[in-house]
Amino acid sequence: MPKTKKTEEAVEKVKAAAETAKETVKAAAENAVEKAEVVVEKAKTAAKKVAKPRTKKADTADAAEKPARAKKAAKTEKIETKVVIELGDKSASSESLITRAKEDWTGKGNSLDEVKELALYINAAEGMVYYVVNDDYLSGSFAI
């Protein structure tokens, strides 16, 4: 089958477009390689900075910073807290309610050795404290 003039022109256009695309891809690849080389050099420089031995000045700064951090931690551990519940004319601290729950528990013939967890629920509307020992449904209650 003989090629027509239009077919030959189309083939030439496709060849020219392919050559242009080839050159564009080659230029983009070269550009990417150059950029990658720059990134690699930056990474090497950064790695050298990280790998440098520490100076005495830096060690001294760290040594001074460690006690400061320890003092801060110690200060936060020494914060005293207190919870006071006031209902009408009655007032009770959380510690006193916990003590009363433990007394009620032992007053029922139970031992404090059995207690692994104690949860108090204060019902302001009823003026009652309900307590639960070791996730038992309801272990006991008393008036505030």
> ∠ CA 112-113-117 to the nearest 5 degrees?
75
Q: Are residues 36 and 17 in the same domain?
A: yes
Evaluate whether 101 touches 119 at the Cβ level (below 8 Å).
no
Give per-10-residue mean pLDDT for the chain (144 aa): 73 76 73 70 70 60 64 70 84 89 89 88 88 84 88
Considering the domain architecture, whether residues 90 and 114 belong to the same structural domain is answered as yes
Looking at the fold, whether 52 and 102 belong to one and the same domain comes out as no
Q: Which domain holds residue 49?
A: 5-76
Q: Which of 51, 76, 101 corresponds to the end of one domain?
A: 76
The reply to whether the predicted model has a pTM over 0.75 is no
Last residue of a domain, one of 76, 106, 134: 76
Q: Are residues 100 and 70 in the same domain?
A: no
In angstroms, the CA 30 to CA 36 distance is 10
- For residues 134 and 117, the answer to whether their CB atoms sit within 8 Å is yes
How many domains in the chain? 2
How many CB atoms neighbour CB 101 within 10 A?
23
Give the pLDDT of residue 55: 59
The 10 Å Cβ neighbour count of residue 96 is: 13
Tell whether 69 and 88 lie within a shared domain: no
Asked if 62 and 114 sit in the same domain, the reply is: no
For residues 104 and 61, membership in a common domain is answered with no
Give the CA angle between residues 61, 66, 72 to the nearest 5°. 125
Residues 6+ apart with CB under 8 A from 129: 97, 100, 101, 120, 121, 122, 123, 141, 142, 143, 144
pLDDT at 19: 75
pLDDT for res 45: 72
